Chains A and B, each alone.
Chain A
Amino acid sequence: MGARLKFSIETARRYPLSFVLKVLVVGSALLTLGALFFLLAYIIVNGVPHLKPSLFAWKYNTKNVSLVPALLNTLIIVGIPLIVTVPLGVFSAIYLCEYAKKGSKVVEVVRITAETLSGIPSIVYGLFGLLFFVIYLRWGYSILAGSMTLSIMILPLIMRTAEEALLSIPTSLREASFALGAGKLRTVFRIVLPAAIPGILSGVILGIGRIVGETAALIYTAGTVPRIPGSVFSSGRTLAIHLYTLSSEGFHTNEAFATAVVLLIIVLLINALSAGLARRLGGGN
């Protein structure tokens, strides 16, 4: 397809409209990539020089604005939703793919609700988390309230990727297992699920990315306390919220840049992991 990218004056003269369209197409692609690279470069160039040791002090204070507590909180707030939602989402996908009858009403309703969930904006999740977990269940601003809110938020993502992974497993493997006298449960857990793990994992990685970058759903559920929490019922800010508070206060622009670099590095790692997995998935088939 490389030839399609060549520009020559002669063809431009013969087909002026085509030439303009080609310029627009290539220009847009360059603009998209340009925006990405400019954003990355700008933050890295301004942030890397400010990655000072004090930023990584164990304890936060208003002078060092250390990001370590926020980083630890992020790990916890990634961990709990995964523990809650991965089994739930995978089991749900197992029901939809392996057990439910075709055209069943329940399946239809589950699909519609999962689609609805995936379209709900984070701030609405945040409001719900505040009303339900923080106020109604009296958990207060806490790591747990934030984690549970995010558990619901990533459920549709885990469900969808797990479902896609299960659907991609050939029926012939299930048949082979049944033909050997294995029951449904054994077939699902010994044959189908192990083969679907890479696909499920890619959903998990996407979910991690979503959580790491989340702010709006956490501000009024997990809160913004910049300390390492004593328990899951204490409040704690994640790295993304940390960056938000730093930049909205406006006193620590350099540290904000440095924090943004750390956040970007995490996102880059997650993306690399997911791209690597996708490549392996593609190569396996």
Chain B
Amino acid sequence: MTMQVEKLMHAVFFIAALVSIIAVALICIFLFANGIPAMREIGFLDFLLGQRWAPMNSPPSFGIFPMIVGSIYVTAGAIIIGVPVGVLTAIFLAKYCPAKLYRVVKPAIQLLAGIPSVVYGFFGLMVIVPFIRTYLGGSGYSILSASILLGIMILPTIIGVSESAIRAVPREYYEGAVALGATHERAVFATVVPAATSGILASIILGVGRAIGETMAVVMVAGNQARVPSSILQGVRTMTTNVVLEMGYAYGLHRGSLIATGVILFVFILMINLLFSVLKRRTNYGS
């Protein structure tokens, strides 16, 4: 009797463990089965490299090149803004912050991670967009607005992963440098931080993943024009926002092309994940 229950539950646990595999399989099957035929119909290269997105025209054109470029632009902008601030903040937390202050600062940064993207988007809409409009011109709905907002949003990711990478560096590195007469800054920046490089890189890659996948905050501030922009003050549309903007009323090939946009985004994310896990593995072997 007990043996049977043991065996039964063993099977139950095993099946539960398989659910995540099933989920990934289902997601792949449904996305690819719906997206790839559309890509084939449009023509793979026309879809990826087409400059024109005009699904309602006759004949329609379904080129998502502007969206791919848009995603890359806002992500790059977010990295340029978020990485220096994030990594330096991580260094502050790991190497400067007194314990008492840490007990306040750390939860604050966790709170930054907990704020919903739609609240960030609303904040961007109310503060960042008018600010850019007033001081830099244009409508304010722009690559720059989206980059600033995403830069703030990826801070907690970058700070969290970088901080633990810096903390994982053996104390001896720091002590060795200080014992040779280095200042605190020299010891931290010339010995500790370089030793944490692969962890910090991993944090950046994770940040890239967050930024490229973010939808709601971007849709509220980026202007969403489906064309390749020529200035950071112009509006832009990303792959994620392309889906969310038009999915509500699309049908037929138009719907298929949106799902295909999701497929391309998914492939981007898979590559980023792969890169991340390779780097993470390297960090683990390092320490």
A interface with B by C-beta (< 8 Å): 1-2, 4-5, 11, 15, 17-19, 21-22, 24-29, 31-33, 35-36, 39, 42-43, 46, 87-89, 91-92, 94-96, 98-100, 106-107, 109-110, 112-117, 119-128, 130-132, 136, 152, 155-156, 159, 183-185, 209, 212-216, 219-220, 240-241, 243-244, 247-248, 253, 256, 260, 263-264, 267-268, 270-271, 274-275
Contacts and interface: CB of A to CB of B under 8 A. Distances in A.
Interface in B62-107: 84-86, 88-89, 91-93, 95-99, 105, 107
B122 to A, nearest CB: 5
Name, among B2, B110, B115, the residue most crowded by chain A CB atoms within 10 Å (CB to CB).
B115
B276 A119 contact: yes
B116 A124 contact: no
Given A29-B89, A110-B21, A267-B116, A130 B247 contact: yes
Contact of A127 (B86, B220, B243, B272): B243
A127 B92 contact: no
B247 A220 contact: yes
Interface string B155-194: 1000100000000000000000000000111101100000
Given A17-B186, A35-B112, 17 more contacts: A15-B183, A25-B89, A28-B85, A29-B93, A29-B96, A32-B159, A33-B108, A43-B119, A88-B19, A113-B24, A117-B24, A123-B213, A152-B27, A184-B10, A220-B244, A220-B247, A244-B220
A103 to B, nearest CB: 15
A25 B5 contact: no
Contacts of A212: 116
A215 B123 contact: no
A67 to B, nearest CB: 13
Given A116-B273, A124-B269, A215 B115 contact: no
Contact of B184 (A4, A46, A275): A4
A235 B102 CA distance: 44
Contacts of B20: 92, 110, 113-114, 117, 155-156, 159
5 contacts: A32-B112, A128-B31, A209-B114, A212-B116, A260-B119
A247 to B, nearest CB: 5
B38 interface: no
B265 interface: yes
Name, among A31, A33, A131, A132, the residue most crowded by chain B CB atoms within 10 Å (CB to CB).
A131
Contacts of B16: 87-89, 91-92, 94-95
B207 interface: no
A93 to B, nearest CB: 8
Contacts of B186: 15, 17-18
B279 interface: no
Contacts of B212: 121
B31 A95 contact: no
Interface of B: 2, 5-6, 9-10, 12-14, 16-21, 23-24, 26-27, 30-31, 34, 84-86, 88-89, 91-93, 95-99, 105, 107-112, 114-123, 125-127, 152, 155, 159, 183-186, 188-189, 209, 212-216, 220, 240, 243-244, 247-248, 259, 262, 265-266, 269-270, 272-273, 276-277
B118 A215 contact: yes
B152 A35 contact: yes
Given A247-B125, A275-B107, A121 B5 contact: no
Nearest to A189: B9
A124 B117 CA distance: 15
Contacts of B12: 91
Chain B interface mostly: helix
Contact of A247 (B31, B122, B155): B122
Contacts of B27: 120, 124-125, 128, 152
Contacts of B31: 124, 127-128, 131
Contacts of B86: 28, 32
A25 B215 contact: no
B185 A32 contact: no
Contacts of B243: 123, 126-127
Contacts of B6: 183-185
Contacts of B209: 119, 121
B235 to A, nearest CB: 15
Contact of B265 (A32, A112, A121, A264): A121
B205 to A, nearest CB: 10
A20 to B, nearest CB: 9
Contact of A36 (B13, B111, B185, B240): B111
B272 A119 contact: yes
A153 B114 CA distance: 16
